[in-house]
Structure 1
Amino acid sequence: MSALSLLRRSLSTLAATLLLGGAALADSSPLVTTDWLEKNLSDPKVRIVEVSVEPGLYERGHIPGAQNVVWHTDLVDTVTRDIASPEKFQALARKLGIDKDTTVILYGDSNNWFAAWGAWVFDIYGLRDNVKLVDGGRKKWELEKRLVATNPVPVKASTFTVAEPNRKLRARLADVVSVVEKKSDARILDIRSPDEFSGKIIAPAGFQELALRAGHIPGSVNVAWARAVNQADGTIKPVEELRKLYAEVGIDGSKPVITTCRIGERSSHTWFILSRLLGYQVANYDGSWTEYGNTVGLPINNPAGTVWGGK
């Protein structure tokens, strides 16, 4: 076949893909657009899941067909301060009608922080390639004034069997201390705001302060999560911009990365970007500053000079 014929075939394939509303592109991307989702709302192989933190938000209106997952009860163990157990996650996935071949579309409020946490937990328990985020989340869907529903749609339960947890996706306190003590060459990326990182404040305004000390983990670098998104609609910036953004602080995929924040939800958003979009080896530290900053005897950095109590 001539080079010209090959080019014509490639252009034809691209045109067909575009005419299909980008469905073929969505298969290989960890993100879906609001346009793509609206065109695929009735696909029986697609399961839409909202993971928001604001109480009653789902009930007031959600993407049609979406199932509701409550972050602080469904995806965590509230007693042990842990992620949902394998048994709990398996029961949740079955209830949602999710199986290995289901395309799971996650979205939520707060710029998809908690939806990304959901993607992280799904990945830990063996659901990865078919799990995607709505780019821009609930914010973009609402800005575009797309259709919402108030009545949940019942789904048939699945027979999903949970996989052995992938422990490489989760960093524990010991892993972080190993980096601090220079026994590991992993890089720690703190994605909190510059004021939190410096120790000027412990938590953003309106958030509960869960640590006694202010500052950051020694040796960590800071790229606030918000720098990776377009503020107007919450969509994630282009891949090449992201690579440059993180490379500026030495995060380039050459070494394993540990993402951290205050309680692990904002850092899961950056975990998603680094691992799913950039293909880096990343573990999310859900203990984050709440655990590290409260641990007796561990060193911290506090450029703001506040150290204890943020004052």
Structure 2
Amino acid sequence: MDTIVDNEWVGDHLDGVHLVDVRDAWEYEGIGHLPGAVNVPFDSFRSEEDGEGGMLPGAAAFAELVGSVGIENGDEIVAYDDMHGVFAARFLVTCELYGHSRESLHLLDGDYSSWSREQEVSRSAPEISSVEYEASFVEDGPLVDLTAVESAMDDPESILVDTREEWEFEEGHIPGAIQLDWLELVNQEERGLKPETEIRSLLEARDITPDRRIVLYCNTARRISHTYTVLRHLGYEHLAFYEGSLTEWEREGGSLTQ
């Protein structure tokens, strides 16, 4: 099953997946949501101090949160937001980092606005029964540390990809990194991804190819997560990401280049 699924697919599978809306509660309740979707606001699965790395919330907190909306470990999940999927992608990556099978994790191609133009929406919250969810941080998962970034810098089979905007990249970046703004992958007018052929051409032009190990970094986890999800959808298998800030990078002795 595809990592990124469209409106038609979701409409045909409403009874077989758990839809997760990561917008704020007031948007979910007041503006409307996909029928049957549960609300897991973006800020509820982030923490600056309690998690195992980056902005992760901690395994116990995440297990309680996900179980409280009725999601079990083997469930198929489709997440969405109203910002081209960048916040929803972070939820999916968090699920993966805590052991949910990534083959069961899907991003809606587009967002709530895209869905609401064509499909039915709801303002009624579904009935929810909490369940036990087991979560543990995957030590050998795609989240890597400074050492892995340093190794990638010296590895001709690897490539560092900076998912920030061009002006941020120009102010300073890890030496050898390639800049790829996550929004370059999105058709902002239609809300979803650009055609696959266009995305692949963009990536190949920057030598971001499936045969190389891709190490992503940024200063926001959601932008990394979106690019990671798109690359996974395209069949890239050798993916990792670093969530430390460039301030941390410099503090640990790393240099930046302009």
Give the TM-score range, shorter chain.
0.7 to 0.9
Shift of 1:184: 7.9
Hey, what does 2:255 align to over in structure 1?
299
In the TM superposition, what whole-angstrom CA distance separates every residue of 1:164-189 from its partner, at most 9, and x where no partner exists?
51533112233223334x26853111
Question: Which amino acid letter does the alignment assign opposite residue 76 of structure 1?
Answer: R
Is 1:282 matched with 2:213?
no
Aligned-residue offset at 1:290: 5.6
Letter in 1 for 2:74: D
CA distance in 1, matches of 2:195, 2:248: 33
- Cα shift at 1:35: 2.4
Asked if residue 56 in structure 1 is aligned to residue 13 in structure 2, the reply is no
Write the distance in 2 (CA, Å) between the matches of 1:231 and 1:79. 34
Amino acid across the alignment from 2:134: T
Query: C-alpha offsets along residues 54-91 of structure 1, whole Å, 9 cap, x if unaligned?
Result: 5732232222221111222x322233453122212222
Q: What's the CA shift string for 1:102-127, capped at 9, x where partnerless?
A: 22110012211111011111112222
1:79 aligns with 2:49: yes
Q: For 2:243 and 2:254, locate their aligned partners in 1 and report how far apart those are by CA, in whole Å.
A: 17
The one of 77, 89, 96 aligned to 2:69: 96
How many angstroms apart in 2 are the aligned matches of 1:156 and 1:218? 50
Confirm or deny that 1:124 pairs with 2:97.
yes
Conserved in 2, the CA contact under 8 Å of 1:191 and 1:222? yes
Would the aligned equivalents of 1:263 and 1:287 in 2 still touch at CA under 8 Å?
A: no
SS in 2 for 1:129: helix
When normalised by structure 2's length, the TM-score is: 0.87
Larger RCO of the pair (alpha carbons < 8 Å, separation 6+): 2
Q: Distance in 2 between matches of 1:34 and 1:222?
A: 30
Displacement after TM superposition at 1:33 (Å): 1.4
Cα distance change, pair 242–280 in 1 and its aligned pair in 2 (3 A): farther
Superposition deviation, residue 40 in structure 1: 3.3
Match of 1:23 in 2: none
Alignment of 1:133-152 (within 5 A): 133-142=107-116, 144=117, 146-152=119-125
What's the Cα RMSD here? 2.3
For these two proteins, the number of residue pairs brought into alignment is 253
Give the unaligned 5+ runs of structure 2. Answer: none
The letter of the residue matching 2:98 is Y
- After the TM superposition, which residues 262-273 of structure 1 pair with which residues of structure 2 at under 5 Å, given as runs? 262-273=219-230
Q: Aligned partner of 2:244: which letter?
A: G
Q: Equivalents in 2 of 1:109, 1:289: separation in Å?
A: 28
CA contact (8 A) 2:152 2:215 kept: no
Over 3 Å counting, the alpha-carbon distance change for 1:194 and 1:239 in structure 2 is same
Q: 1:183 to 1:250 in 2, by over 3 A?
A: closer
Partner of 1:196: 168
| Mapped contact 1:264–1:288 kept (Cα < 8 A) | no
User: Contact 2:4/2:230 (CA < 8 Å) preserved in 1?
Assistant: no
CA deviation profile, 1:231-256 (whole Å, cap 9, x unmatched) = 22221233333232212111112221
In structure 1, list runs of 5 or more residues that go unmatched.
Answer: 1-27, 200-214, 303-311
Give the match for residue 210 of structure 1.
none
Q: Does 1:226 align with 2:183?
A: yes
Partners of 1:167 and 1:37 in 2: CA distance? 31
* TM-score using structure 1 length: 0.73
